[in-house]
Amino acid sequence: MAEPADDAEDGEDKIAKKARLEQLEPMEIVQIYTDSYHRSMDMLNIRHPSIEPRASGHIIEQIKMTQDIIDNGFAYEVNGSVYFDVVKYNSSNNYGKLSGRVLDELLENTRDLAGQEEKRNGVDFALWKKAEPEHIMKWPSPWSLGFPGWHLECSTMSAKYLGDYFDIHGGGMDLLFPHHECEIAQSQAANGKDPVKYWIHNNMITIDGQKMSKSLGNFITLEELFAGSHKLLSQAFEPGTVRFFILQAHYRGTLDFSNTALEAAEKGLNKLLNGIILAKKIATADNSTSNIAKLREECIKAISDDFNTPVLISHLFEAVRITNSVNAGEESISKDDLKSLNSIFEDFAVDILGLSKNQNQQGDNLMDPLMDLILDIRQESRANKDFATSDKIRDVLSKLNITTKDEDGGTSWSYEG
RNA sequence: GGUCGGUUGGCCGAGCGGUUAGGCACUGGUCUGCAAAACCAGCUACAGCGGUUCAAAUCCGCUACCGACCUCCA
């Protein structure tokens, strides 16, 4: 059973600056960002974590872990600050095993930087820092009035809520070193264990091939993406489209956002979702022209192969192709296979990838009878060869984002709100 | 400068030594009153230069670009 925990980093600096600027309490700023983050996650159909602990609520645990590391001889205190002794740690452990760094090379490379003079070596990192007078968020500790080091919060909170050895730790590739490397060192130094079984690092995002950065002016927020309010975007993109777009690339590769790529994703997703809906109502035959069981195996293989979502999606499009071909009378499917086909869509597209049609057109008391009436009138004019009227109806509906399709049994419609 | 990773067709994006990835766009065909959708077919690439191999987008080397990290920033 997965027990997701999302670590809300509510540390100093940016938050403190913002708080001074807005004349609010630091924790009010944290709340504003947390709320906005939750809204975006909800829209993207991302499930809520079981717990979202905050670093500032776990000062006691962080002080204890610091003390444990000192007691075990892997940290030292200087002027009220406590530093992790990386060189000593490395003599009995392997600092760099996650990121592939070699300590000797790191030591050679370390530059002389301000604020380093307290440390024995440049590679050492702070477990506890004594606060300067202007520092807003600070707490008493055995060493000083201060605040915990950055790497410590993850170690203490994950250990508290997930146990001191848990299955999966995620995060961006930019955190691999030094942050995650230090988490391992802290856990080893405190209790002699690796904290994590599997590390999953996702790659970074680029915009039109360039890295996303505020200075380049190509920084796009999720809110802007959903609203279409950015100069690089020609339109708003549904959260579902953004989700699908992200899943079409592997998480370990860089993801390149662009307007054209998002437009392509929107069309592709539409095709997929229409296929899923259609598969629920196509006719069955005595036998099948496609191997549905094999298709399911391919899907399992793809997602089992380091979450290869792009390959999984390519198999789902094969399922859509089969659905459409059956619908067009060019292929056939048995009753059992259709059931299996629908469960492929349900299991992989809906449950695993979290893709589903927006519920803005089903069972509308006003829309449905109105559309029945309009399409009925159009059908009559077509029967009378009054194509001027029938085309006018179709054109106006099209402008309202209602697409009509003339099929054998009548005209169907769909609304892309 | 150091370490690591990337460079795939018009665009996005899989691929881990031999087989059509997939999506979008485009072209032709079927269907349609005309469309749309759908189906069928076509376009079919691996940064450059060498090397290994019966066989390389895939392995090795060099070059050129791009990026991440190495900045007590969470």
Q: What's the CA–C1' distance between A321 and B44, in Å? A: 21
**pLDDT of A192 strictly over 80:** yes
A314: in domain? yes
A21: in domain? no
What residues make up the domain containing A126? 59-202
Per-residue confidence (pLDDT) for residue A1, from 0 to 100: 37
CATH number, domain containing residue A129: 3.40.50.620
Q: What's the CA–C1' distance between A306 and B7, in Å? A: 23
- Which of A318, A352, A386 terminates a domain? The answer is A352
Per-residue confidence (pLDDT) for residue A231, from 0 to 100: 86
**pLDDT of A285 strictly over 70:** yes
A212 and A347: one domain? yes
pLDDT band at A88 (very low <50, low <70, confident <90, very high): very high
Reported as a single tens digit per residue, the pLDDT across A91-121 is 999 999 898 888 888 887 655 555 567 888 8
Reported as a single tens digit per residue, the pLDDT across A146-160 is 999 989 999 999 999
Instruction: Name the residue with the least CA to C1' distance from nucleotide B32.
Output: A406
**pLDDT of A359 strictly over 70:** no
Q: Which residues contact A103 (CB under 8 A, 6 or more apart)?
A: A86, A87, A90, A95, A96, A123
Per-residue confidence (pLDDT) for residue A124, from 0 to 100: 92
A215 and A289: one domain? yes
A23: in domain? no
A110 and A212: one domain? no
CATH number, domain containing residue A276: 1.10.730
Sign of the Cα pseudo-torsion (A348, A354, A360, A363, in order): positive
HSE (CB half, 13 Å, CA atoms) of A105?
Answer: 5
User: CB of residue A149 closer than 7 A to nucleic acid strand B?
Assistant: yes
Instruction: Name the residue with the least CA to C1' distance from nucleotide B36.
Output: A405
Query: What's phi and psi for A316, nearest 5 deg?
Result: -65, -35
Q: What's the CA–C1' distance between A385 and B21, in Å? A: 46
Q: What's the CA–C1' distance between A187 and B5, in Å? A: 28
A48 token code pair: 């809520």
Instruction: Look at A42 and A412; give whichever has higher pLDDT.
Output: A42
A74 and A169: one domain? yes
* ipTM metric: 0.92
Q: Please report, for residues A88, A221, A348, A355, the alpha-carbon distance to residue A44 in angstroms, rounded to integers and kept in the order given.
A: 45, 13, 17, 9
A296 and A348: one domain? yes
A293 and A317: one domain? yes
A191: in domain? yes
A324: in domain? yes
A121: in domain? yes
Instruction: Name the residue with the least CA to C1' distance from nucleotide B2.
Output: A109
A10: in domain? no
- Using CA atoms, how far apart are residues A211 and A186, in angstroms rounded to an integer? 32
- Which of A305, A327, A352 terminates a domain? The answer is A352
- Which of A142, A176, A202 terminates a domain? The answer is A202
Using the CA of A266, give the nucleotide whose C1' is nearest.
Answer: B24
A245 and A110: one domain? no
Nearest Cα residue to A325 out of A283, A353, A385, A363: A283
- Using CA atoms, how far apart are residues A296 and A339, in angstroms rounded to an integer? 12
Per-residue confidence (pLDDT) for residue A155, from 0 to 100: 94
- Neighbour tally for A108: CB within 10 Å: 8
A255: in domain? yes
Which residue type sits at A370?
A: L
* Total structural domains within chain A: 3
Q: What's the CA–C1' distance between A106 and B47, in Å? A: 32
**Nucleotides of strand B within 7 Å of the protein's CB atoms:** 1-4, 6, 11-15, 21-25, 32-40, 66-74
A279 and A242: one domain? yes
